[in-house]
Structure 1
Amino acid sequence: MSETTRSEIVATPGVMLSKVPEITVWFWVIKILCTTVGESFADWINMTLGVGLNATALVFTAVLAAVLGWQLRLNRYVPFVYWLTVVVISVTGTLYTDILTDNLGVPLAVSTGVFAAVLAVVFGVWFARERTLSIHSIVTTPRELFYWLAVLVTFALGTAAGDWTLDLTGWGPGTAVLLPAGLIGLVVIGWRLGANAVLSFWLAYILTRPLGANLGDWFASPSTEHGLGLGTALTSAIFLVAILATVVYLTRTRSDVVEEHDRTQTPPARPERERIMLGYYAVVALATGALLVWAGGQPHAAAASEEDTGAESVTATLTPGQTTAHFPAAETTQFRTTAQDTLTDVQRGDQTGARARAKDLETAWDDAESTLRPMDTAAWHVLDDRIDSALHAVRAGKPDPATETQTLTALLTALQ
């Protein structure tokens, strides 16, 4: 069979050079870097800057439309534009899942199932129309549109599945890195032993999302939560610089550019081997499910639940003065003053000022965690819950003054 060269592709109407990079180790390195940024950068803009979840999602949806339009106008793979699109999709997909969970109250198990079903539909329609799901065939605009839609859904699915896993097991971010990393290793083994290459690629692609998110959480989380304590801003900066350096390297070396693309030649089919390895993947899936069920039933998970229940019990039985009895008066007064300032801004209709003071409250509370939490863990959780509720109300996409007043008043009462 003859190969289709670059010049022949460009001369063929409706056909472009490959719009995606060659699948090398660099592809997976930069993909994981992008998913890490998707987690940390979204958190930084939403929470640290106080923009709010809905507003952040709207901004990134507009940015995604612009960047994706740029990518679609090209007729070949350009590293900077391609990976910029992946970064923006990573952030946007994360935000969509967070909206379902935080704003609409959709359980993570439900959103994971919904996104999995949506991805199956996307793949089904893509295959029915194009008869291939291989990313090496991305040489027409319809195929590229299917590709980017699938990428967006995989980010949303990976976010939901990763958060659901953490919710179920109670694992810390460092420990949680091991599961997707191990599963990716098993997928690589399956691919090496003859599993379907397209299936293996998309399985690994989905798994890089929880892997990158857990890495981001591990870098950003405070040391008291077994993280590295770098914060979301520094974590985002580190990984964005790493992405930029990798893109510059790939642009200069062109080591991930598909120089020639064969639109007619396909790898030889090995149906028997692929069926065997499909069974292998089924066993891996069952073993993973069993591991999650086992981890969810371990004492640490139960202890976490008991701790939360204990916090709720303290809220119901302790007087406000007892809640802060073991905390330094100066610290309590600082938190109460900041919370009162926030409430005053809300009552005056100054939402910008309220968000600024809420940010001050969050920063002071986080800085004091290592000191206050050991003094009275149950009471700390009570106040932490009150502060989270107040921050969520103030930073909502469409803040409700009644809800803001209610949550801030509850916080002030607990701080008496």
Structure 2
Amino acid sequence: MSQPASLTLFPPAGRNKVPEVTAFFWIIKMMSTTVGETAADYLNVNLGLGLASTSAVTGLLLAVALFFQMRAKRYVPSLYWTSVLLISVFGTLITDNLSDRLGVPLSVSTTAFSLALIATFAVWHAREGTLSIRAIDTVRRECFYWAAILFTFALGTAAGDWVAEGLGLGYGYSALLFGGLIGAIALARYAFRADTVACFWLAYVLTRPFGASCGDLMSQSVQDGGLGLGTAGTSAMFLATIVGLVIYLSLAQKRLVNS
């Protein structure tokens, strides 16, 4: 006997739960990576919460956001991008805890998260036959999707910090490096017709260290190689832009549904 809809914890298979990959998608994604980097630093250092408390609070908020995201029957811009923002902060904090509290070298973290992401993709593809985000329409696929997203943020944080700080490249040159790699992937996709799914996930991984390098470049002091805008100012500026874009997308989606 089927369970009443009102008692169903998660919706049945149906509409895709993630947005179309447009210019808005990449703009908000890159800004969310910057907010993840600067917001984690602001909560941890500026507000003095510490890594443990910041991680606990962010993890709880992320769990709540993902519950409602997965409970939704369709893509809802506010739910989806709230989850992305929180998972960006949480992914940053995972790497920060490993590096700052446990003393794990960034090179080791980068390798470990790379292997975790590859394993997630392997199991996902073995079970579902695809890694395309155009088919995130079941609970299991959405679980794979969010697990992959978490590992991309943790990996991007570790790789970005390793290149900028561990290898001494600096924030500006790191941003140019990762931005150049993203440009190369775009060229491979549109000029040489490289595989769409592979290009998407490679670019998605690289937007994290690119955004993190941009965030550090803007927020860190001039003495440390940044522009000195501060974590609070940088976070507020990008967060306000994200909120504005999400409101626009929500209104556009509402008009489309009602048309």
- TM-score clears 0.5: yes
**Could you say which structure has the larger radius of gyration?**
1
Aligned residues: 245
Cα shift readout 1:8-48 (whole Å, capped 9, x = no counterpart): xxxxx832211010101110000001000000000000001
Residue aligning to 1:342: none
Residue aligning to 1:215: 214
Cα shift readout 1:358-389 (whole Å, capped 9, x = no counterpart): xxxxxxxxxxxxxxxxxxxxxxxxxxxxxxxx
Residue aligning to 1:234: 233
Q: Find out whether 1:15 has 2:13 as its counterpart.
A: yes
Within 5 Å, which residues of 2 pair with 1:140-159?
Answer: 140-159=138-157
Alpha-carbon distance between aligned partners in 2 of 1:169 and 1:104, rounded to the nearest angstrom: 20
Residue aligning to 2:98: 100
Residue aligning to 1:34: 32
Higher relative contact order (CA 8 A, sep 6+): 2
Cα shift readout 1:79-132 (whole Å, capped 9, x = no counterpart): 111000000000000000110111111111111111111111111111111001
Residue aligning to 2:56: 58
Within 5 Å, which residues of 2 pair with 1:159-308?
Answer: 159-192=157-190, 193-254=192-253
The share of aligned pairs that are identical, in percent, is 52
Per the normalisation by structure 2, the TM-score is 0.91
Alpha-carbon distance between aligned partners in 2 of 1:158 and 1:223, rounded to the nearest angstrom: 24
Cα shift readout 1:301-350 (whole Å, capped 9, x = no counterpart): xxxxxxxxxxxxxxxxxxxxxxxxxxxxxxxxxxxxxxxxxxxxxxxxxx
Aligned-residue offset at 1:171: 2.5
Aligned-residue offset at 1:227: 2.1
Q: Which runs of 4+ in 1 moved over 6 A?
A: none
Alpha-carbon distance between aligned partners in 2 of 1:145 and 1:48, rounded to the nearest angstrom: 33
Contact 2:106 2:166 in 1 (8 A): no
In structure 1, list runs of 5 or more residues that go unmatched.
1-12, 259-416
Aligned-residue offset at 1:254: 3.0
Per the normalisation by structure 1, the TM-score is 0.57
Cα shift readout 1:141-185 (whole Å, capped 9, x = no counterpart): 110110000000000001111111113431232222101100000
In structure 2, list runs of 5 or more residues that go unmatched.
1-10
Alpha-carbon distance between aligned partners in 1 of 2:230 and 2:28, rounded to the nearest angstrom: 21
Q: Which amino acid aligns with 1:88?
A: L
Q: Which amino acid aligns with 2:213?
A: N
Residue aligning to 1:292: none
Aligned-residue offset at 1:218: 1.2
SS at match of 2:137: coil
